């Protein structure tokens, strides 16, 4: 029936190898992107630590005590916010009124946990760095974000200048 079984085997082998190569390339590129993001995350974390150290005027001992507590708090807050966003998306997709009500209740509970975590963190900070520095801490994250946004915009302007100057 089939006059060229070897030719067909070669084609199947070729397509199989090509598929494996494409999949491997995607896997490695995703791993590379993750490493880049992790590197950027560590850089931002370092910049945030330095920013807080400077703004709060922390000495080395205070910095050593503050950083682990802050990192843990920052991770918890990030997780709670991510969960809240997921629930908000779930509200849009809720099929029944009861499902929607359940999503709203979950969101309320997470917002309470978020507020409790913030209060607990501030109490820890009072004992670690004092009341005055804890008071300064309250708006510092927003200030850090603004500073990073400003730096990014300045970099973009510089890159655009360089591109315009090149013939």
The domain segmentation of the chain, as residue ranges, is 60-148
Residue 121: name the closest of 78, 165, 57 by CA: 78
For 3-44, the pLDDT digits (tens) are 566 777 777 777 777 777 777 676 665 554 555 455 778 888
Residue 57 per-residue DSSP state: T
**CA distance linking residue 131 with residue 65, whole number of Å:** 15
pTM of the model: 0.65
For 80-103, the pLDDT digits (tens) are 999 998 888 877 777 788 888 888
Backbone φ and ψ of 59, nearest 5°: -80, 175
**Which stretches of the chain are DSSP H helices?**
5-56, 60-93, 97-129, 131-137, 140-165
């Amino acid at each position: 029936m089939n006059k060229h079984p070897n030719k067909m085997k070669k084609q199947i082998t070729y397509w199989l190898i090509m598929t494996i190569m494409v999949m491997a390339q995607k896997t490695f590129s995703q791993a590379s992107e993750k490493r880049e993001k992790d590197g950027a995350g560590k850089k931002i974390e370092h910049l945030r630590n330095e920013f807080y150290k400077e703004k709060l005027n922390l000495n080395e001992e205070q910095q050593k005590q503050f950083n682990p507590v802050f990192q843990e708090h920052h991770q918890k807050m990030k997780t709670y916010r991510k969960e809240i966003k997921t629930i908000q998306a779930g509200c849009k997709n809720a099929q029944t009124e009861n499902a929607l009500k359940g999503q709203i209740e979950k969101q309320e509970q997470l917002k309470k946990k978020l507020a409790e975590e913030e209060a607990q963190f501030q109490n820890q900070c009072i004992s670690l760095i004092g009341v005055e520095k804890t008071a300064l801490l309250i708006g510092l994250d927003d200030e850090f974000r603004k500073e990073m946004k400003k730096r990014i915009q300045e970099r973009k302007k510089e890159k655009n200048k360089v591109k315009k100057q090149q013939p």
